[in-house]
Amino acid sequence: MGVAGGAPSERARLASAGARATVAAVLGNQPRRDVALNAAFAGLLLLAILIALAGLVALLTQALIKGAPALSADLFTNVPSTINPENAGFRPAIIGSLELIGGVILFIVPVGVGAAIYLEEYADNSKWWNRLIEVNIQNLAAVPSIIYGILGLAFIVRGPLDIGFILAAGSLTLALLVLPVVIIAGREAIRAVPDSIRQGSLALGATQWQTVRRQVLPAAIPGIATGVILAVSRALGEAAPLLLVGATVFVTFDPTFFSADGYSALPVQIFQYATRPQEEFQALAAAGIIVMLVVLLAMNSFAIWLRNRYEQRW
């Protein structure tokens, strides 16, 4: 400003002040109704968030209050009982859940990552079968878990695979249930690796697999690991499909992977305690929920931390 001396700059100052005053006069005093309406609307929106958060807080405090009396090391060492709630625990259920999860990890990591690599790095999207796989995975991610239970019952426990009501059947059922989670997360992680890295590797004479194996996968590992943790935590809390594939209730021994004697899992055991009316069993169920939530929260926080810590901006 002030190119041609004092007078024009003074004029510009006056003009802009005038414009500002006009704008303030027209828009500054919003109608009272608008102001009130806006405040009420913002308040309602905030209320929605508060309701959701209050639900979460109430759920956690309820579990703590009701489960506190039953919370002790006995939960981890004692076997379940229908007669003596004060001596009952979760030992076989916890061991069963750990074994189920072990099987799930062994299955979903290679298969889930393999499928994600195929869809992102190899699949030609103009081919109908690759589009079919893609839509199919999105669909599978939203199929109700009890339907996977039916699949496990008719296809894995009986039917074609016919392996019986063993822990491995439950593990395979859960693995199929959470597989789409791993594939979808894996694909996003792989897609986030910029193309220039692939092209650089290919230009140096690496084959496609060498490129994937040495450049793309290492860069995508944090995202893939986050997806795997989220999938495992979902499998850990899932009870419905296990009801159908033989997670029987009161197993009083440590279950093994292929034994036909039956097995149990933490969420199923919690469900069974919760359906009993006595106060002591309700407390046991709540204590089991605390144990499960502590493990899950630890896993989920680790996944969120992992994602924020290693998320690369290219």
Return the residues of window 123-182 that contact another protein according to CB under 8 A.
123, 130, 132-133, 135-140, 142-151, 153-155, 158-160, 165, 176, 179-180
Near another protein in 78-107, by CB under 8 A: none
The piece of 5-13, 84-92, 110-118, 217-225 that touches another protein (CB under 8 A) is: 110-118
Rounded Cα distance between 260 and 273, Å, is 23
The site for another protein, by CB under 8 A, has a size of 95
Tokens of 219: 């860069």
Q: Is 208 in the site for another protein (CB under 8 A)?
A: yes
CB of 256 to another protein, least distance (A): 18
In the list 51, 73, 83, 203, the residue contacting another protein (rule: CB under 8 A) is 51
Q: Is 47 in the site for another protein (CB under 8 A)?
A: yes
What does residue 221 show for φ and ψ, rounded to 5 degrees? -60, -40
In the list 56, 73, 83, 203, the residue contacting another protein (rule: CB under 8 A) is 56
In the list 304, 310, 311, 312, the residue contacting another protein (rule: CB under 8 A) is 304
The piece of 7-15, 94-102, 189-197, 202-210 that touches another protein (CB under 8 A) is: 202-210
For 302-308, the CB contacts below 8 A with 24+ separation are 302/229, 303/225, 303/226, 303/229, 303/230, 303/233, 304/226, 306/222, 306/225, 306/226, 306/229, 307/222, 307/223, 307/226
Q: Is 41 in the site for another protein (CB under 8 A)?
A: yes
DSSP 69: G
Helix 91-117 with 217-237: angle, nearest 10 deg: 140
Closest to another protein by CB, 6 or 196: 196
The DSSP secondary structure of 114-149, one letter per residue, reads HHHHIIIII--TTSHHHHHHHHHHHHHTTS-HHHHH
Q: Is 211 in the site for another protein (CB under 8 A)?
A: no
Closest to another protein by CB, 129 or 314: 129
**Single-letter residue type at 135:** V
In the list 9, 16, 22, 30, the residue contacting another protein (rule: CB under 8 A) is 30
Tokens of 268: 């199923």
Closest to another protein by CB, 14 or 35: 35
